[in-house]
Chains A and B, each alone.
Chain A
Amino acid sequence: GAVVSQHPSWVICKSGTSVKIECRSLDFQATTMFWYRQFPKQSLMLMATSNEGSKATYEQGVEKDKFLINHASLTLSTLTVTSAHPEDSSFYICSARDPPRVYEQYFGPGTRLTVT
């Protein structure tokens, strides 16, 4: 149980384009999902908390107009990187909290974004 999928697993895009990443909880309903970014040899940094049916909460320093988050259902959250630039190249990972387990999060396999 507690499986989270992410799509695509990798994407290469040109500077200035937008990229959408999907995160799905496959066997449970997740009212809360989290989006992280991880640069090489660094740990995961929380970008935003995605709440079903309401606006996402962004961490300090993360531009909400650049990283658009939509959590339209209990099993799907999307992150859109708008007007991507090479410095946005990173490993983006989502996670979902299984409600009975207050703090445990289950991670998607990640999306490796390369902006050329």
Chain B
Amino acid sequence: RKEVEQDPGPFNVPEGATVAFNCTYSNSASQSFFWYRQDCRKEPKLLMSVYSSGNEDGRFTAQLNRASQYISLLIRDSKLSDSATYLCVVPSHSGSARQLTFGSGTQLTVLP
């Protein structure tokens, strides 16, 4: 099983739609999780951190299911500007560097 696995998409949704992405992780000891957003040819930018069961920030909600080892990202009322690749990120626990392992990303296109 990959350390972090995401549905690559692409997800093409109309403006105003609600869309959800799932991400599964293999390390049951992981305590924190992140969703990053990456625009084409740009660096990833932190969207949300998840340290407990979930987190909500405006139109974005992240939920964590530890028993099933998956994290979801829900985007409500999609905007054209939400079009991007969304990366699920889980800390690695090798050594003391506290590295991050990136999923392959889910591509979202919001259509007018």
Q: Which residue of chain B is the closest to A50 with respect to CB atoms?
A: B97
B: interface residue count bin: 20 to 34
Residue numbers of B with Cβ under 8 A of A are: 32, 34, 41-46, 49, 87, 91, 95, 97-105
Residue numbers of A with Cβ under 8 A of B are: 32, 34, 42-46, 49, 51, 57, 91, 93, 97, 102-110, 112
Q: Known: A103-B32, A103-B34, A103-B91. Contact between A44 and B44, CB under 8 A? A: yes
B41 touches A107 (CB 8 A): no
Q: Known: A43-B87, A110-B42. Contact between A104 and B34, CB under 8 A? A: yes
Residues of A within 8 Å of B105, CB to CB, are 43
Residues of B within 8 Å of A44, CB to CB, are 44, 87, 102
A112 touches B99 (CB 8 A): no
B43 touches A107 (CB 8 A): yes
Residues of A within 8 Å of B102, CB to CB, are 43-45
